[in-house]
Amino acid sequence: MQMQRVHNMVMRGMLGAFHAAAKVDLQALTLPPPAGPIRANLKGRTMQASTRISGILGGGGDGWGLFYRARAMVAAGVPVTELTIGEHDIRTDPVILDAMDRAARGGATGYAAIPGTDALRDTVAARVQAATGVETMRANVLIVPGGQSGLFAAHTAVLDAGDTALFIDPYYATYPGTIRGVGAVPRAVPARPEDGFQPRAADIAAAAPGARSLLINSPNNPTGVIYTPATLDGIAGVCRDHDLWLISDEVYDTQVWQGAHVSPRALPGMADRTLVVGSMSKSHAMTGSRVGWIIGPPEMIAHLTVLSTHTTYGVAGFVQAAAKFALDLGPAFEAQVAAPFRRRRQIALDLLAGQNIVRAIPPDGAMYMMLDLRATGLSGEAFAAHLLDTRQIAVMPGESFGHAAAGHVRVALTVDDARFTAAFAALLETAAELAPQGDTHET
């Protein structure tokens, strides 16, 4: 009901007149789907959506109520500082857009090769091989319209209806829905705050009997954690012991602030049972271009090409040309796209050092920071709601990412440095106001 009301509010807002900035923001708006039966004018009879599609959200809301409320406020003209979703505050670089334009004008506007152009597949293969040391050929690469469609395709490729699929909690919002969307059953494995959100192999092993796949994400959204070599060895061991497919979401692989990102595909015995999902969205600020890839064994890529033929029919040729151009700009360009997040992470760590209410695990990677607000006595949801109401700052409640991050909020490092500094300081002040006197943690 609440979701429906927010949905209606947002829809009304979209129809109204609001300033240009709000319009830009609203283009990125993801509306919650309408719930309930579809009324057809057939003598009072009702048409039903399939259980599979109507069940994607698993009966509950999608946990993004606060996000939609913030967006509705923006639409109504309230100057909300949005530290919610993983969207850069820069746009795709003009040199990449020029490449896209040249390609389109040069004729790349027809159907493109469904598994991807040879040129882009070869470029991705070389990049993956250079980064991981694992031999990677064109036949190991499928180009897909963004990481999300890669996640959906990868789960379709390894799961039958009714199969169980593991994923780690806290998780990126779409994970359980992606699994339900392919007709399978999601089973969460908690990663605990006291372990720095590194999942324990023993917990995964305990959940593994009867499961067919495990989905992991490192560098991690929402926690910013990069899995340690020990964590990855443990995960690989469980996958080998229980014959699990590993789906490794590596869309943040260029946002590494500390330590190193290791792709589990490089671990012994893993290349044949791992599907890696990559994307240009985060690495090259190309979220709107919808281009990414799946890396896997050639037989699986052949199956996935058949799937693409029956779903997406590939990715626009001019987008693929732009993606190849962007990858050819090399690691220095990727570091430049990542630099603002690295800076703001440091700003946040410096501000955190001056207080002792809010704890954080310094993020090793990705464009987020998970803050532990349990010293305030509030849930992440209650804190986020209070922050939005009193300071017009929107952050994501930890509870929108599962159970393991209750009492936390996720802050996206996605507004300019000055605004970020002010908002982060205001968040810390709010936490200090809310914390019971004397209830602090040792720093």
**How many H-runs (helices) and E-runs (strands) does the chain carry?**
15, 14
Residue 153 host element (H or E): helix 147-158
Rounded Cα–Cα distance for residues 383 and 376 (Å): 8
In the complex with ligand PMP, which residue's Cβ is closer, 147 or 407?
Answer: 147
Shortest Å, Cβ 410 to ligand PMP: 11
Binding mask 50-89 for ligand PMP (x = CB under 6 A): ------------------------------------x---
Shortest Å, Cβ 412 to ligand PMP: 10
In the complex with ligand PMP, which residue's Cβ is closer, 148 or 376?
Answer: 148
Binding mask 261-280 for ligand PMP (x = CB under 6 A): ------------------x-
In the complex with ligand PMP, which residue's Cβ is closer, 13 or 318?
Answer: 318
417, 352 in Cβ contact below 8 A? no
Q: At 264, which amino acid appears?
A: P
Shortest Å, Cβ 43 to ligand PMP: 42
Q: Which region among 49-57, 140-148, 266-274, 402-410 touches ligand PMP (by CB under 6 A)?
A: 140-148
In the complex with ligand PMP, which residue's Cβ is closer, 295 or 375?
Answer: 295
In the complex with ligand PMP, which residue's Cβ is closer, 87 or 101?
Answer: 87
Shortest Å, Cβ 249 to ligand PMP: 5
Site for ligand PMP in 373-402 (CB under 6 A): none
In the complex with ligand PMP, which residue's Cβ is closer, 261 or 374?
Answer: 261
In the complex with ligand PMP, which residue's Cβ is closer, 172 or 245?
Answer: 172
Could you say which of 238, 251, 384, 427 contacts ligand PMP (CB under 6 A)?
A: 251
**DSSP letters spanning 221-282:** TTT-----HHHHHHHHHHHHHTT-EEEEE-TTTT-BSSS----GGGSTT-TTTEEEEEESTT
- Residues in contact with ligand PMP, counted by CB under 6 A, come to a total of 13
In the complex with ligand PMP, which residue's Cβ is closer, 28 or 53?
Answer: 28
Shortest Å, Cβ 94 to ligand PMP: 20
Shortest Å, Cβ 270 to ligand PMP: 20
Site for ligand PMP in 183-222 (CB under 6 A): 217, 221
In the complex with ligand PMP, which residue's Cβ is closer, 251 or 295?
Answer: 251
Q: What DSSP character marks residue 198?
A: P
Q: Which tokens is 171 given?
A: 């998780």
Shortest Å, Cβ 173 to ligand PMP: 8
Q: Which tokens is 316 given?
A: 């626009």
In the complex with ligand PMP, which residue's Cβ is closer, 274 or 376?
Answer: 274
Q: Which region among 69-77, 111-119, 135-143, 144-152 touches ligand PMP (by CB under 6 A)?
A: 144-152
Determine the length of the chain: 443
Could you say which of 64, 67, 68, 172 contacts ligand PMP (CB under 6 A)?
A: 172
User: Do you find a cis peptide bond into 34, omega within 30 degrees of 0?
Assistant: no
147 near ligand PMP, rule: CB under 6 A: yes
Q: Which region among 142-150, 161-169, 224-232, 377-385 touches ligand PMP (by CB under 6 A)?
A: 142-150
Residue nearest to ligand PMP (CB): 147
In the complex with ligand PMP, which residue's Cβ is closer, 127 or 374?
Answer: 127
Site for ligand PMP in 286-305 (CB under 6 A): 287, 292
Interacting residue ranges for ligand PMP, rule: CB under 6 A: 86, 146-148, 172, 217, 221, 249, 251, 279, 281, 287, 292
